[in-house]
Amino acid sequence: EEFGYDSKVMWLPDVFGYSWALPQIMKKSGVDYFMTTKISWNTYNEIPFDVFNWRGVDGTEILTSFITTGVEEYYFYTYNGPLEPETVQTAWTNYKGKNRTDEVMMSFGYGDGGGGPAEEQMETAKRLKNFPGLPDSRMGRVDEFFERLDTQEGRTHVWNGELYFELHRGTYTTQAETKWFNRKCEIALHNAELLASQAWLQGKAYPHKTINDSWRRVLTNQFHDILPGSSIKMVYDDTRRDYTESLNEAEAVQEKALSTLLKAYKTDEIVVFNTLSWSRNDVAHLPKLSGSLWDGEDACPTQTVKDINGKSETLAYVSDIPSHGQKSLRLDKSKKSLKSELKVSETSLENRFYKISLDANGEIRSLKDKRAKREVLEKGARGNQLQIFEDLPLQNDAWDIDIFYVDKMQPVKALDSIKVIETGPVRAGVEITRSFGRSKLRQRMFIYADIARIDFETDVDWQESKRMLKVAFPVDIHSDFASYEIQFGAIRRPTHWNTSWDWAKFEVCAQRWADLSEGDYGVSLLNESKYGYDIKDNILRHTLLRSPSAPDRRADLGRQVFTYSLYPHQDDWARAETVQRAAELNVPLISGTGSGKAANSQSSFVSIDKEHVIIDTVKKAEDRDELVVRLYESANRRGKITLSFDRPVKKAFSLNMMEEIEGPLKVSGNKITLDITPYEVVTIGVKV
């Protein structure tokens, strides 16, 4: 946009670790090379090479080089770009890629705050050229260095896995509001793109500018010191305004698109929209209704409740809502009572999936899976244990959690009250309140008649400084690894501390879920805006909040509202569809009232025929009148897949992630058929 040039190098000197999904994303975005240096700050282990092919989760490889410039007595490399005789020498001395090439890249200029090359550095560069006793140096371009490196012969090392950063683990959790806003904005913009695309096909203008402006604000705030939580208070005052504006704009786009789509339904119909890519059975949160809802000849289970803020709403369980589609329900003023199969008291909750027993402190003392006929928890252990840890890292308060935090744990057992708050045909729940220090916690634990999730809706007034709150579930599962969601896939990490590489991962990040499974059974722990986990041996633990005092003195103090969910399941996480259950926790059903005269029941805009393939995005192309559909394989499987639309498809093209056409795809009627490989991301252009 600025210089008429596409960069082929991903230049990320100062980022706190790199997802295993990144090589594929880079390659499919036209990026061939990757540079970083932050990984040299690892606390325990040193990456054994500076030049290597980084192999991603799907097998894609990308040529990677570290900058090896050292500074004074520090053990790590720097991204700040000093240019002195010493740094020229250390860049070459530190370089481990000498068996591959006789040149090393060294950047200079003031970084970490900006400024770039200064006049005196330019003069120094001239004087250091051919300076006796130092490596020969010359000015050059980054892309040309990588191109020479790519063509030189020599042994090429391969790093297969994430580039886990053994530092700054606190950034998975710090500044919870920012992480919550980021998640909600991404979901809202996903929904806005999908619904606006459907309205566009009905002749409405697609709001490119509004959507793109909103995305730019969200992406800007994913900068490495904003979203991670390591900025000053003034920054978060600004980002709150940015996020609110983006969220409001996305919801306005959504509402405008819905006003078009709802014209296909009668005025006495409640229409429920599913913006996920599989047929869905879920609970819709509707404005408080009087009367009953009917799905054809069947009454929908409904229940009037109060949300965590005390606002009345109606819950309705709706089955078989089509992929990226909608289903209409008839609203009848007469009431239809449905019997509840749920059992709840102050000491137990039971549905057709689980029988849960609570102890005198409100912790789970037994969780029996009725389908699998087994106890989920470790014998004698308690589930949903809230634990407070002293959180005093040696340095970098907002950034770091240090391994010794485990030495000072205080269980949160004191119970203020426990009471039944809901029972009905949709869900049942108890509310538990606790006090600790100057803080108060209110937790609403829900089970559902027809959903196998156990939700823990949590409202905390947090007033503890330099303390961290975690929740633990000791489960009766035997496995030497746990699985975690990453972008477009999943990764395994050890549950033991056999080596320094293992124990360095004492706190790790995940997107929407983490899972511990043995051969035929497992337990997933889902989140809706929290990213920090630690799973050691058989204990699943999730980091809920922390409260560092620098650089923001009052970071994360005050009220926080969030939900995490337990999902015990038969089989492993992939066959148990943990990906889908976590998405459903995060992406609620959308509803509206019909505004037309026609009677419709349900329809699916676009669907996929394999449950392990997820349609991630549907949008209008940036510069062509066609749809863009992005999907990915989520469970390490391969095969032939078929994408189906609600109308004939004229043409289809394979695209890269920049929406550039790569080749035609096979089309038959309203279907597109193609092959997919494990964890592959596929982008398709569609003319309908």
Quick one: how far is CA 494 from the chain centroid?
A: 20
Residue in 251, 248, 244, 328 with CA at minimum distance from that of residue 284: 328
Q: Write the secondary structure of 503-519 as one string of H (helix), E (strand) and C (coil).
A: HCCCCEECCCEEEEECC
Asked, as a colleague might, if the bond just before 551 is cis with ω within 30 of 0, I would say yes
Which residue is catalytic, options 6, 14, 112, 675? 14
CATH no., domain 605-687? 2.60.40.2220
CA–CA separation, 275 and 488 (whole Å):
18
For the chain, what is the largest distance between any 2 Cα atoms, rounded to a whole number of angstroms?
94
Q: pLDDT tens, 254-271?
A: 999 999 999 999 988 999
- What average pLDDT does the chain have? 96
Q: How confident is the model at residue 601 (pLDDT cuts 50, 70, 90)?
A: confident
Q: Hey, which bits of 38-183 come out as E strands?
A: 51-55, 61-66, 158-160
Residue 14 annotated in active site:
yes
Q: How confident is the model at residue 115 (pLDDT cuts 50, 70, 90)?
A: confident
Q: How confident is the model at residue 80 (pLDDT cuts 50, 70, 90)?
A: confident
Tokens of residue 12, six digits:
């990320």
Q: pLDDT tens, 118-167?
A: 999 999 999 998 899 999 999 999 999 999 999 987 778 999 999 999 99
Q: pLDDT tens, 303-352?
A: 999 999 999 999 999 999 999 999 999 999 887 778 899 999 999 999 99
Q: Is a pLDDT exceeding 80 seen at residue 71?
A: no
Q: According to the model, what pLDDT value does residue 335 have?
A: 79
Q: Which amino acid is at 308?
A: I
Q: How confident is the model at residue 70 (pLDDT cuts 50, 70, 90)?
A: confident
CA–CA separation, 196 and 200 (whole Å):
6
Domain boundaries, the chain: 9-167, 172-311+320-327, 605-687
Q: Is a pLDDT exceeding 90 seen at residue 651?
A: yes
Q: According to the model, what pLDDT value does residue 99 have?
A: 82
Q: According to the model, what pLDDT value does residue 74 have?
A: 66
Q: Is a pLDDT exceeding 80 seen at residue 610?
A: yes
CATH topology of domain 9-167: 7-stranded beta/alpha barrel (3.20.110)
Q: According to the model, what pLDDT value does residue 419 have?
A: 98
Q: Establish how many alpha carbons lie within 13 A of residue 75's alpha carbon, considering only the half-sphere containing its beta carbon.
A: 8
Angle between helices 176-201 and 233-261 (to 10 degrees): 20
Do 522 and 475 form a contact (C-beta atoms < 8 A)?
Answer: no
Q: According to the model, what pLDDT value does residue 2 have?
A: 85
Do 253 and 281 form a contact (C-beta atoms < 8 A)?
Answer: no
Q: According to the model, what pLDDT value does residue 73 have?
A: 64
Q: pLDDT tens, 411-455?
A: 999 999 999 999 999 999 999 999 999 999 999 999 999 999 999
Q: According to the model, what pLDDT value does residue 599 have?
A: 67
**Phi-psi bin for 256: left (phi > 0), alpha (psi -120 to 50), beta?**
alpha
Q: According to the model, what pLDDT value does residue 77 have?
A: 86
Q: According to the model, what pLDDT value does residue 82 have?
A: 86
Q: According to the model, what pLDDT value does residue 156 have?
A: 85
Domain 172-311+320-327 in CATH 1.20.1270.50? The answer is yes
Question: Which helix (DSSP H) or strand (DSSP E) does residue 85 occupy?
Answer: helix 85-94
Q: pLDDT tens, 208-236?
A: 999 999 999 999 999 999 999 999 999 99
The number of helices, as runs of H, and strands, as runs of E, in the chain is: 9, 43
Q: According to the model, what pLDDT value does residue 101 have?
A: 87
Q: According to the model, what pLDDT value does residue 23 have?
A: 99
CA–CA separation, 120 and 136 (whole Å):
19
Q: Is a pLDDT exceeding 80 seen at residue 374?
A: yes
